[in-house]
Amino acid sequence: MIEIIESVKNLSIGFNSQKGKQISILRNVSTNIKKGETVGIVGESGSGKSTLALAMMGYIKQGLFPLKGECLFKSEDLLKMSSRQLEKIRGRKIAMIPQNAGQALTPNLKIGYQIDEALRLHTDLSKTERDKKISELLNKVRLPSPETMAFRYPHELSGGQQQRVAVAMALAGKPDLLLLDEPTTGLDVTTQAHVLELLRFIAKDTGTSMIYVSHDLGAIAQVSDRIVVMYAGEIVLEGPARKILKEPIHPYTYGLLKSIPKLSLAGLPASMPGSQPQPGSINQGCSFYDRCNLATDHCKKNSPDLEHIKELDTNVRCFNHKELISQNINLKTSIKKKSNNSEAIEVLKLKDVSISYAKQKFFDQLLNKISDQNPTVKDINIDIKKGETIALVGESGSGKSTILKSIAGLLKTKDGQIKFENDRILSSDLKMRNPNDLRAIQLIFQNPDESLNPNHTVEQILSQPLKLYFNLSGEELKKNIIDLLKKVRLGEFYMSRYPRQLSGGEKQRVAVARAFAAKPDIILCDEVTSALDVSVQAAVLNLLQQLKEDLGTTYVFVSHDLAVVRAISDRVAVLYQGRLCEIGPSQNVYKFPSHPYTEVLLGAVLEPDPDIKPKLVAEDIVEENPPEKGCSFQGRCPRKIGDICNLEVPPWQIGENGNAIRCHINIDELASLQQ
Amino acid sequence: MLLLILKRIGLGLITLFIVSLITFVGVEVLPGDACTTYLEREAYGSALDACIKRLGLDVPAYERYLDWASNVVRGDFGYSLSGEMPINEVLGPRVKNSLVLASVSILIGIPLAIVLGIITALWRDKLPDIMISTITIFSMTIPEFISATLLILIVAIWLGWLPGIVIIPSDATFYELLSNIILPVVAISMIMTAHMARMVRSSVIQVMASDYVQMAILKGVPYWKMVFRHVLPNALLPAINVVALTIAWLLGGVVVTEVVFNYPGLGRLVIESISNRDLPVVQALAIILASIYVGINLIADLMTLMLNPRLKSLQIRK
């Protein structure tokens, strides 16, 4: 008999609405955590996964309260404990690793103090023993120079280092259960893979049970033994990780897995219609009814119970799961894109573009001189053809968004030219561009919450570009707005809504509609899907592709997510520290031979498949500035060949399949090294 | 760091220079000059000529500015018109009185404000918060001339415990002053404490909602330890600048209270010298009050820099 560490029984948590109604966020959740086991709790935003995880530490967020049920830790109910009793358990028996360590570490206290605090509270060690233990812990989470690290403040560390400190702090009390709330969200892909690897090592090394909460099935797949899938505050599927990921017998999980873009698969992922219901809006029937293609009338009126299926060792909340099994589950499908015209003309050319963030000194400004010899972005040469989608990928600090801002005219270039239509040079100063050029290049931003004016209705938001560029008014204006909404698949009634009344996906659709209102030739997409849930992301990607095929727009698509880029782009440019590493047709960039940096990036991508493990080939060091001489990737390159990499800028080499790589290693040799 | 301090001091001096220019120009462009305003109806003939000569108004304005400014730099503000005594002698006791009033108010008001702010934040929406918040909002909204008058009526007239107005020679000793300033201090503290307590309250509430406080709770840090180590240092940091502004306000801006209680401080001197058209004194006061504001804000900025590790390392890196 395996010991159960914590067990949640029929837990419901909710709040009182303004009308005095009780609304539950968690509904009747029951699950057990066994000793030494890692349980992944997965769900999209608003599914109640974080509320559940916090409740498992006896913590209920302000404004919420438990409606019924219990959280039993070693057969004691955490929800009934006094704060004095909870202090004894938190950090010592159950420890938390937070989502954003940068904000979860107290800014005015040194790293060492914060770890020491946990040691003082939960162990009986003396001061000298504690000091020793602190370096031990910092060493264990693989932080460089643990002795000096303890004397630093949280903000002096990089994101990945902060997350490691949070892990060390959680391990200080030697807990039986570790709770991880999206511990790698917000980190760069390579850093994320390293932190996950560390967590897996710790789980194995210490035998601690873990609860891993995330929206990212890729990360969950790497660490979990068992997976719990949440939807609208309920558990809809629960079982062994492999079974859940390979044979998802709940339609929501199936749809979710299909909507994740995969590296191994060209083409767009299938999207799920609709969005998660608001808490309190379901009165009867299955909460997934609206979005389910297997739903019957029975599902509308009756809510399914969690049913145990013995042969799969799985619990599922669906009446029709047998039908899903008989339908032949196939996760390796995607929607084919129309290939675009290869003879198309070039619309946008970046020629030797350099961009510098360095502030000009007063005298240099007088002499109109830019002194920075080592600009943030340097030597960018990209020709963009009409109707193609070119993606710029790289980790944070790679300069991808910087280039986008320069094309839009929001940031002045230091050197080089941006040429538009028939080699006409676009001024790097926004004010000097003519209105028609401004209209022709539009931007869609990452976060629609911030890019849409909260005090404007959708109608006002969409009418602005129409008035500005086409002088429309009255009936004609209204007709155009309705057309635009139709294009992004939103009904006419959305016109009177405010952004806050829309879901994340709907907001991003409005942002897309606003960009298309200008009838642009080029749309610059800056991480447009990274703030969205996966099922919504797939829908937005499909929408963008559809609009492009209909209207012949050109996209410059910036993203850190290599799988998304693979799905949408025709061509990919890989950037590191503001320098191009590799550029070529998407299907070829994802093949051999690759630039060593592309190889590192591709290796770190987490696929929602427990059989595909990330390959960690380079250290996840954070470099603040690009190197002054030589190859931009010299500091982290796993294939560095010597001084030549430090001193000389590598030449461009073009492979057989058309992708150009900037590396000192001969391209054929690179290919054989990587196979 | 040193460079930064020097830079800030330099900026402060530039501010003072501009203030001195503005006040000088302001006095110049007013119709009439120091002599006509002072002599009023007798401002003609030989009396006026003599006055102009005595004050040196016959030389060009820029020369007079340079002359005045260089004297000010040496600490000499010249002579007042009405009293015909050195301005330094007029200002000295006033500055001292204002300092006494301000420091007593600060010593009582600021700790009280911080304690009240913390209590209201920690017991947010509970009885202590509701009671204290009602009182603070109440004392914030009553104008000081009403609260001051009420204080005089109740404490001085009905109860007869304390003198209603301050009747002391301007060169009174500290102890003589102390019994006299209780009522002004109470009147000032009411408003000052209320404002600051509200600010501390919202700042503490904001920090209490932060991720790192939630993290500290989930780490098992006992409540009061969490409040003192994780919440207060971060919540009180922004209060430093407000405290600085309050101190500056106490030194020169509590005109109404000083007038109601007949307190011989700087604020009342401003009013008196303006109504007496004693332009040299007005000029001197403008410079002194501006220096107080600049100086105190400079100290506050530097303190924030020292105490906030984030800003500190940012500066060092640059």
* B308 and chain A in contact, CB less than 8 A: yes
**CATH code at A320?**
3.40.50.300
- Residue contact A104–B211, C-beta within 8 A: yes
Distance from CA of A85 to the nearest CA of B (A): 10
Q: What is the pLDDT of residue A359?
A: 62
- Residue contact A87–B234, C-beta within 8 A: no
Which residues from chain A sit within 8 angstroms of residue B233, using beta carbons? Answer: 108
* B72 and chain A in contact, CB less than 8 A: no
Six-digit token string for B158: 């009905």
Does domain B93-317 correspond to CATH entry 1.10.3720.10?
Answer: yes
Q: Using DSSP, state whether A89 is helix, strand or coil.
A: helix
Residue ranges of alpha helices (H) inside B209-252 are 211-218, 223-225, 232-236, 239-252
Per-residue b or e along A171-182, where b marks 16 or more CB atoms closer than 10 Å to that residue's CB: bbbebbbbbbbb
Which residues from chain A sit within 8 angstroms of residue B305, using beta carbons? Answer: none
Q: Rounded to an integer, what distance in angstroms lies between the CA atom of residue A502 and that of residue A494?
A: 9
Asked whether residue A381 falls in the same domain as residue A429, the answer is yes
- Residue contact B221–A117, C-beta within 8 A: yes
Asked whether residue A329 falls in the same domain as residue A357, the answer is no
**Closest C-alpha among B287, B298, B292, B306 to residue B75:** B287
C-alpha triplet A418, A420, A424: angle, nearest 5°: 90
- Residue contact B219–A156, C-beta within 8 A: no
Q: Which residue ranges make up each domain of chain B?
A: 2-73, 93-317
Asked whether residue A412 falls in the same domain as residue A303, the answer is no
Which among B215, B226, B236 is the top mutation candidate for probing chain A, defined by the most A β-carbons within 10 Å of its own β-carbon?
Answer: B215
Q: What is the pLDDT of residue B158?
A: 86
- Residue contact B309–A89, C-beta within 8 A: no
Asked whether residue A327 falls in the same domain as residue A232, the answer is yes
Q: What is the pLDDT of residue A369?
A: 56
Query: How many CB pairs below 8 A link A and B?
Result: 81
* pLDDT band per the 50, 70, 90 thresholds, residue B5: confident
Which residues from chain B sit within 8 angstroms of residue A83, using beta carbons? Answer: 223
* B216 and chain A in contact, CB less than 8 A: yes
Q: Is residue A238 part of a domain?
A: yes
Q: Which of B218, B220, B234 sits opposite A107 (nearest CB)?
A: B234
Asked whether residue A557 falls in the same domain as residue A440, the answer is yes
Burial tier of A394 (Cβ tally within 10 Å: 0-12, 13-18, 19+): buried
Cβ partners under 8 Å of residue B173, min gap 6: none
User: What is the average pLDDT score of chain A?
Assistant: 87
Sign of CA pseudo-dihedral A477, A482, A488, A492: positive
Q: What is the pLDDT of residue B141?
A: 87
Length of chain B measured in residues: 318
Length of chain A measured in residues: 675
Which among A100, A108, A152, A169 is the top mutation candidate for probing chain B, defined by the most B β-carbons within 10 Å of its own β-carbon?
Answer: A108
Mark out chain A residues that contact chain B at CB-CB < 8 A.
54, 57, 59, 62, 83, 86-92, 95-96, 98-100, 103-109, 117-118, 121-122, 153, 155-156, 166, 169, 173
Q: Rounded to an integer, what distance in angstroms lies between the CA atom of residue A229 and that of residue A342?
A: 43
Highest mean pLDDT among A100-114, A346-360, B167-181: A100-114
Q: Is residue A320 part of a domain?
A: yes
- Residue contact A153–B214, C-beta within 8 A: no
- Residue contact A88–B220, C-beta within 8 A: yes
The count of structural domains within chain A is 2
Q: Which of B221, B230, B310 sits opposite A121 (nearest CB)?
A: B221
> What backbone phi and psi angles, to 5 degrees, belong to A507?
-60, -45
Judge whether residue A117 has pLDDT over 50. yes
> What backbone phi and psi angles, to 5 degrees, belong to A27?
-125, 110
**Closest C-alpha among A105, A123, A116, A129 to residue A173:** A123
Which among A87, A106, A116 is the top mutation candidate for probing chain B, defined by the most B β-carbons within 10 Å of its own β-carbon?
Answer: A106
Distance from CA of A182 to the nearest CA of B (A): 14
With a pLDDT cut of 70, the percent of chain B lying above it is 91
Per DSSP bridges, beta strands A234-240 and A314-316 are antiparallel
* pLDDT band per the 50, 70, 90 thresholds, residue B316: very low
Burial tier of A75 (Cβ tally within 10 Å: 0-12, 13-18, 19+): exposed
- Residue contact A155–B210, C-beta within 8 A: no
**Which DSSP string do the residues of B87-130 spell out, in sequence order?**
HHHHHHHHHHHHHHHHHHHHHHHHHHHHHHHHHHHHTTTSHHHH
- The predicted model scores a pTM of 0.83
- Residue contact A87–B221, C-beta within 8 A: yes
Asked whether residue A420 falls in the same domain as residue A366, the answer is yes
Per DSSP bridges, beta strands A522-526 and A415-420 are unpaired
Given a contact cutoff of 8 angstroms between Cβ atoms, the answer to whether A583 and A591 are in contact is: no
Strand ordering across the sheet containing A652-654: A441-444, A522-526, A554-559, A389-393, A571-576, A579-585, A660-662, A652-654
Q: What is the pLDDT of residue B306?
A: 80
* B233 and chain A in contact, CB less than 8 A: yes
Asked whether residue A381 falls in the same domain as residue A431, the answer is yes
Asked whether residue A425 falls in the same domain as residue A301, the answer is no
Q: Which of B209, B213, B229 sits opposite A109 (nearest CB)?
A: B229
With a pLDDT cut of 90, the percent of chain A lying above it is 36
Judged by average pLDDT, the poorest of A135-144, A159-168, B18-27, B246-255 is B246-255
A585: alpha, beta or left, given left = phi > 0 and alpha = psi -120 to 50? beta
Judge whether residue A443 has pLDDT over 50. yes
Which residues from chain A sit within 8 angstroms of residue B212, using beta carbons? Answer: 103-107
Q: What is the pLDDT of residue A239?
A: 93
Asked whether residue A237 falls in the same domain as residue A369, the answer is no
Judge whether residue A402 has pLDDT over 80. yes
Judged by average pLDDT, the poorest of A11-20, A336-345, A426-435, B10-19 is A336-345
pLDDT tens-digit map of A21-75: 888 889 999 999 999 899 999 988 888 898 999 999 999 988 888 999 999 998 8
The boundaries of the domain holding residue A300 are 1-89+213-218+225-262+286-333
Asked whether residue A386 falls in the same domain as residue A294, the answer is no
Distance from CA of B176 to the nearest CA of A (A): 44
Which residues from chain A sit within 8 angstroms of residue B237, using beta carbons? Answer: 108
- Residue contact A173–B220, C-beta within 8 A: yes
Six-digit token string for B226: 């969490």
Q: Is residue A421 part of a domain?
A: yes
**Closest C-alpha among A528, A371, A500, A348 to residue A421:** A348
Asked whether residue A440 falls in the same domain as residue A576, the answer is yes
- Residue contact A59–B217, C-beta within 8 A: yes
Six-digit token string for B176: 């003589």
- Residue contact B212–A105, C-beta within 8 A: yes
* pLDDT band per the 50, 70, 90 thresholds, residue B318: very low
Judge whether residue A567 has pLDDT over 80. yes
* pLDDT band per the 50, 70, 90 thresholds, residue A93: very high
